[in-house]
Amino acid sequence: MLKIGITGGIGSGKTTVCKIFETLGIPVFYADTAAKNIMMSDTMLIEGVREAFGRDSYFDDGRLNNKHIASIVFNNESELSRLNALVHPAVFRAYDAWTAQLPIGTSYALKEAALLFESGSYQTSDKNILVTAPLELKLARVMRRDSVSADQVRARMDKQFTDEQKQKMADYLVSNNEINSLIDQVLKLHHLFLNLAQ
């Protein structure tokens, strides 16, 4: 089975692209969703977070205290790196467990991750896709979706690699510019991966 990584900057529309792959019957592992779940289920990770960021990291009922964590890691690169050093290996474990239970004969599966290149997890993929979109379009999408200002979106973008940096590590590009057909681009990649998997 081929392992395909897929990423894109905030507002690029990578989730939309993944949904098209899913309609073709391709399984997709959403790393960011998995990270949220394992923050409350992976005992090794929970212990690590408590040790690093204090007992207040979790409420008595086991829920993650997002505000507490955010107050420590927001605008603090070294603390954020510390958190990522705990979370990323746990996500890798969850991904390995997920791929292990896929049906025999699955040609390929996607791993969708916002920080695919930043975390180094792209190195575990056979191929990697980058979803791109013009800056103005990305800004407009996120401002509309999250009800935030352009400056707030830019602040989030600054925490990720630029599209130019990511392109150097990507094998394939999908342009989500509202001009080129997304479906056509996905179908082309789908057939390519099916052939590669044989």
**125: domain range?**
1-27+111-198
CATH code: domain of residue 126: 3.40.50.300
- pLDDT grade, residue 2 (50/70/90)? very high
Asked whether residue 84 falls in the same domain as residue 18, the answer is: no
Asked whether residue 52 falls in the same domain as residue 134, the answer is: no
Asked whether residue 132 falls in the same domain as residue 90, the answer is: no
3-state helix, strand, coil in the chain (%, to 5): 55, 15, 30
DSSP 103: P
Q: What is the structure's pLDDT at 159?
A: 80
Domain-ending residue, one of 57, 72, 101: 101
Q: What is the pLDDT of residues 80-113, one digit of tens each?
A: 999 999 998 999 999 999 999 999 999 999 999 9
Asked whether residue 84 falls in the same domain as residue 180, the answer is: no
Mean pLDDT, the chain, rounded, equals: 94
Asked whether residue 122 falls in the same domain as residue 198, the answer is: yes
Residues 6 or more apart whose CB falls under 8 angstroms from that of 144 comprise none
| Distance from the Cα of residue 104 to its chain's centroid | 25
Asked whether residue 80 falls in the same domain as residue 176, the answer is: no
**In this predicted model, which residue has the larger pLDDT, 183 or 152?**
183
Give the chain's domain count: 2
Give this prediction's pTM.
0.89
Inside any domain, residue 32:
no
Domain-ending residue, one of 74, 101, 128: 101
Q: Classify 64 as helix, strand or coil.
A: strand
